[in-house]
Chain A
Amino acid sequence: MKIKKGWYALFTAPLMIVFMIVVVIPFIIGIGYSFFSWDGLLKHKAEFIGLKNYIDVFQDTRFLESTVRTTIFTIIAVVTVNVIGVIFALVVTTRLRVRNVARTLLFMPYLIGGLILGYIWKAVFQEYFLSIDWGNWTSDPTKGIIAMIIVTTWQLAGYVMIVYITGIMAIPNDVMEAAMVDGANYFQTLFRVKFPLLMPSFTICLFLTLSNCFKIYDVNISLTGAGPGNKLEMFSLNIYNEIFSLSNFGYGQAKAIIFFFIIALITLAQVTITKKREVSM
């Protein structure tokens, strides 16, 4: 189809200009900032310090601890979210009469944003647990992480359930019937037939939960905050605090660039690995 240049510009330019201003230019400026030392005040000049910010990161125990903490949190949460999500999907794709009601109820937490969810669960982990003498989980370094894992699982299990349901529904009936006729029991059909056919769904869900969990911010803010001695500060919150609380704009921005590389790396790795496995199945 022949399209005149004027129409082309009219249709695409407005969006592309806004996109450049909001995403591309700040990203480029951000890379620049990460080589400077600056406290964020316009009257103070930023000083070029080369790669110093990126080297300093390795001596920053608060940052390194938050990286380790976020990694551990992510690994556990990815497993719990997906295991529970698959179980939910298996339950609501049975012939149970209440399957649709169950699906409706289990998916609901996903629609409530992370911030509000964190506050709702704070009522449980703080007020309710105190009232039954279990102590306040939101200010304990270990239990706080467990609390965040529980809330994240609660939020995302219903979400991945939807993706797994789509996958399960796409499995042709005759495949399942053939397995039954061959005398396979429930667990054999589950592990030998259903799960291999669900590989594309696993790809999607692992990828989604990995980057979602590593980016945790809202739940961190509302449920626990940085916690005593910053023992509950996750990666995103550490960046935020470095820039906006401690006013280390250049140094914080270097962390933000590192954050980008980590997210890009896990996303790309995940996609490549699972693409390969799908082919060989």
Chain B
Amino acid sequence: MKKVKIKSLFLNGLTIVLCLLYLFPIYLILVNSFKSRAEMYENMLAAPSRFSFKYYISALEKMNFFTSVRNSLILTVVSILIIVVFTSMTAWMFARSNNRLSTILFDLLIATMLIPFQTIMMPLMQEMNWFKTTLHIPMTDTIPGLIFMYLGFGAGMGVFLYHGFITGIPLSLEEAATIDGCNTWSTFWKIVFPMLKPTTMTVIILDVIWIWNDYLLPSLTLKSTINRTIPISTAKFFGQYTISWNEAMAALVVTIIPVVIFYLICQKYIVEGVAAGAVKG
């Protein structure tokens, strides 16, 4: 009995130690962000002898961190809100109307999920510039323009996930609502949409991970400092200055803090959402 206990203690301990070793890079940036330059290069693995927040303050300032967080938050939240509203509505219509048009459009949405972003980035930017110069609609270098593009890119996966879920729901509830005098609009929002909650969670989680971290698309459209998102300001930070690594590490620590907070709060949903998205995608 005692042997079993020791063995289990050993295995549990070993697993945790290995997991922590796996996160070694995070440890490295964390400890060195508090050290002085001399102390850092003396031994990068050692814990800091005293905690100095000097580099944090300068990194936050150089990155315009709080502006970037605000931009990233607005971009992510509004994009996802719009994606959820429009993809669920469209998917419901496609699932409940058996006409050719729905089939064709649905297949088109799924097929285009194969297109890598790099394939359309240049013509997309040409088109958006044309919107700006010819039609005077400010599509480039604005957060709303970017949200518009995220709706287009998020359409395929959103409709696909909702469509799969809706085809599994029996029609009877919706028919009953119609008989009771609900019009199509309120049937959807009062009866159908609340039932879609599991898929809505999946769509939200997958799109948060995608939009919050996306770099290439915003880097092509956002040019003004004031509009930068977190990935953009991080890239600018690493590109612009002859980097002091203490400061760079402090910058990296603060950029992953929002992600870690999000993860700790929504862990259950995130794991479920990612699994559902991967299996169905």
Contact = CB atoms under 8 A, between A and B. Distances in A.
A120 B114 contact: no
A267 B114 contact: yes
A116 B252 contact: yes
Interface of B is mostly: helix
A252 B121 CA distance: 11
A163 B116 CA distance: 23
A18 to B, nearest CB: 5
Interface stretch (B48-56, B88-96, B195-203): B88-96
Interface string B101-115: 000010011001011
Q: Which of B25, B86, B153 has the most CB of A within 10 A?
A: B25
A128 to B, nearest CB: 5
Contact of B188 (A11, A103, A105, A163): A11
Contacts of B274: 110, 159, 162
Interface string A24-37: 11110110010000
A114 interface: yes
A96 B18 CA distance: 14
A102 B19 contact: yes
Nearest to A95: B8
B260 interface: yes
A23 B152 CA distance: 6
A8 B256 contact: no
Interface residues of B, number: 86
A263 B144 CA distance: 30
B97 interface: yes
B122 interface: yes
Interface residues of A, number: 82
A119 B248 contact: yes
Contacts of A263: 114-116
Interface stretch (A75-83, A174-182, A236-244): A236-244
Interface stretch (A51-59, A187-195, A215-223): A215-223
Nearest to B20: A105
B109 to A, nearest CB: 7
A119 B119 contact: no
B123 A98 contact: no
Interface string A163-181: 1011000000000000000
A19 interface: yes
A105 B19 contact: yes
Interface stretch (A64-72, A253-261, A272-280): A253-261
Interface in A197-247: 204-205, 208, 215, 217-218, 221-222, 236, 239-240, 243-244
Given A22-B124, A105-B20, A119-B248, 15 more contacts: A10-B185, A12-B94, A19-B109, A23-B152, A23-B156, A30-B119, A33-B123, A97-B12, A106-B22, A111-B209, A113-B213, A123-B25, A217-B118, A239-B118, A240-B216
5 contacts: A23-B112, A99-B15, A123-B252, A218-B213, A243-B122
